[in-house]
């Protein structure tokens, strides 16, 4: 059986194609009687709108591209939930891609989304990303880009972030106020801005308490959220510095790797050494000891990022100027047994 078209419905019902389109979209200027006739026949004949024709007419594909560094991380899974929920409210679908913290793959994925003619792109950049040519290419082709969480200072677009510097400062300040003095920082690659800011927050807290910054107490975790990085850097740290009394980790998964190593070596937390994480992953509350952490509004970050992108898309449709937005969401400390 050939696919039923809007022309077929128009001929059968003796109403215009625009009336059928409006009725199926629920427009109020079509009478209830006419709408019911149209919907009934459309269902009976299994009619589905031609999305290609619709996109040609509206110049929209009703799709948004999303690129994240990793899918398995709890933080990003909740961000995605927020994005999908908000996108669906406005009739948009999400195309989700994972860069696996690789710049080369991120470039390929941006090019793929351009080819797919998505209406906009949401991206949390990889640890390796410093160049912005691929992102600028999307904008030059009329596709707005919004960054969230892991952003680049040198790229001009809307950004949805937290105050990483302040959040890190508050976490380390808490440890210092509890009496811990030799605090190691398990940080990330200094390419995404959030890694830089969390290190700066750590430094600022030490300075506020009159403690000299010691580069030797900073351990780089190249994957930024890898359990194994936390595990093996905890081993390395204890081999090099037996006097460390606390650790501030850039993510909860790194912190949990640390806790696992300490458990294996019968090192008591927090009696011998305290551990503070970042992001309030679900596992943080159920492990033993439960992990103190920084709570991020992940779901809200996702929904707000979609709203900002849609605002820019709508301005573009109307040929109106759009001022890029920088939205900083609040964080809070969650204090648990690890400190």
Kindly report the CATH number assigned to the domain that includes residue 268.
3.40.50.2300
Q: How confident is the model at residue 171 (pLDDT cuts 50, 70, 90)?
A: very high
Do 154 and 39 lie in one domain? The reply is no
Task: Please indicate, yes or no, if residue 87 is contained in any of the structural domains.
Answer: yes
Task: Please indicate, yes or no, if residue 19 is contained in any of the structural domains.
Answer: yes
pLDDT at 4 over 90: no
Q: How confident is the model at residue 50 (pLDDT cuts 50, 70, 90)?
A: low
Do 95 and 111 lie in one domain? The reply is yes
Q: Give dist(CA 67, CA 100) in Å, integer.
A: 10
Task: Please indicate, yes or no, if residue 339 is contained in any of the structural domains.
Answer: no
Do 282 and 312 lie in one domain? The reply is no
Do 96 and 127 lie in one domain? The reply is yes
**Angle at which helices 133-140 and 103-115 cross, to 10°:** 10
Do 173 and 269 lie in one domain? The reply is yes
More confident residue, 144 or 4: 144
pLDDT at 287 over 50: yes
More confident residue, 192 or 237: 237
Domain that holds residue 193: 164-295
Q: Choose the weakest-confidence range: 168-182, 218-232, 325-339.
A: 218-232
Do 176 and 291 lie in one domain? The reply is yes
User: What pLDDT, on the 0 to 100 scale, is given for residue 52?
Assistant: 46
pLDDT at 27 over 80: no
Do 95 and 240 lie in one domain? The reply is no
Task: Please indicate, yes or no, if residue 1 is contained in any of the structural domains.
Answer: no
Q: Give dist(CA 331, CA 286) in Å, integer.
A: 21
User: What pLDDT, on the 0 to 100 scale, is given for residue 223?
Assistant: 59
Do 18 and 125 lie in one domain? The reply is no
Task: Please indicate, yes or no, if residue 338 is contained in any of the structural domains.
Answer: no
Quick check: 300 and 82 in contact, CB under 8 A? yes
Please enumerate in sequence order all residues whose Cβ is within 8 A of that of 329, keeping only pairs 6 or more positions apart, or say none. 160, 161, 162, 296, 297, 300, 301, 304
Task: Please indicate, yes or no, if residue 335 is contained in any of the structural domains.
Answer: no
pLDDT at 137 over 90: yes
pLDDT at 197 over 60: yes
Phi, psi of 159 (to 5 degrees): -140, 135
More confident residue, 55 or 133: 133
DSSP 309-335: HHHHHHHHHTT------EEEE--EEE-
Q: What is the mean pLDDT of the chain?
A: 90
Do 86 and 184 lie in one domain? The reply is no
Tell me the pTM.
0.79
Do 192 and 264 lie in one domain? The reply is yes
Task: Please indicate, yes or no, if residue 54 is contained in any of the structural domains.
Answer: no
Do 182 and 71 lie in one domain? The reply is no
Do 302 and 157 lie in one domain? The reply is yes
CA count, 13 A, side-chain hemisphere, 143: 27
Q: Give dist(CA 22, CA 8) in Å, integer.
A: 16
How many domains, the chain? 3
User: What pLDDT, on the 0 to 100 scale, is given for residue 225?
Assistant: 56
DSSP state at residue 4: P
Task: Please indicate, yes or no, if residue 311 is contained in any of the structural domains.
Answer: yes
What percent of the chain is modeled with pLDDT above 70?
A: 93
Q: Choose the weakest-confidence range: 36-45, 106-115, 158-167, 299-308.
A: 36-45
């Amino acid at each position: 059986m050939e696919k039923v078209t809007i022309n077929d419905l128009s001929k059968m019902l003796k109403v215009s194609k625009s009336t059928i389109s409006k009725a199926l979209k629920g427009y109020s200027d079509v009478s209830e009687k006419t709408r019911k006739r149209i919907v009934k026949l459309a269902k009976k004949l299994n009619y589905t709108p031609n999305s290609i024709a619709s996109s040609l007419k509206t110049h929209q594909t009703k799709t948004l591209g999303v690129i994240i560094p990793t899918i398995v991380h709890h933080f990003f899974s909740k961000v995605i939930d927020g994005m999908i929920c908000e996108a669906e409210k406005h009739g948009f679908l999400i195309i989700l891609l994972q860069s696996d913290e690789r710049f080369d793959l991120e470039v390929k994925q941006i090019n793929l989304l351009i080819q797919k003619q998505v209406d906009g792109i949401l991206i949390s950049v990889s640890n390796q990303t410093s160049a912005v040519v691929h992102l600028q290419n999307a904008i030059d082709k009329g596709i707005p880009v919004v960054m969230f969480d892991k952003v680049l200072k040198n790229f001009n677009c809307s950004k949805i972030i937290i105050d990483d510097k302040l959040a890190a400062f508050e976490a380390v300040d808490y440890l210092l106020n509890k009496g811990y003095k030799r605090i190691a920082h398990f940080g990330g690659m200094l390419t995404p801005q959030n890694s830089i800011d969390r290190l700066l927050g750590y430094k600022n807290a030490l300075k506020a308490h009159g403690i000299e910054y010691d580069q030797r107490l900073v351990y780089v975790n190249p994957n930024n959220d890898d359990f194994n990085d936390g595990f093996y850097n905890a081993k390395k740290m204890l081999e090099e510095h037996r006097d460390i009394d606390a650790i501030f980790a850039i993510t909860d998964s790194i912190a949990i790797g640390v806790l696992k190593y300490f458990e294996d070596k019968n090192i008591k937390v927090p009696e011998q050494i305290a551990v503070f994480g970042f992001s309030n992953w679900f596992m943080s509350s159920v492990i033993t000891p439960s992990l103190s952490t920084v709570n991020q509004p992940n779901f809200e970050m996702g929904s707000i990022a979609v709203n900002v992108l849609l605002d820019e898309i709508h301005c573009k449709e109307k040929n109106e100027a759009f001022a890029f937005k920088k939205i900083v969401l609040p964080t809070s400390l969650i204090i648990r047994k690890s400190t």
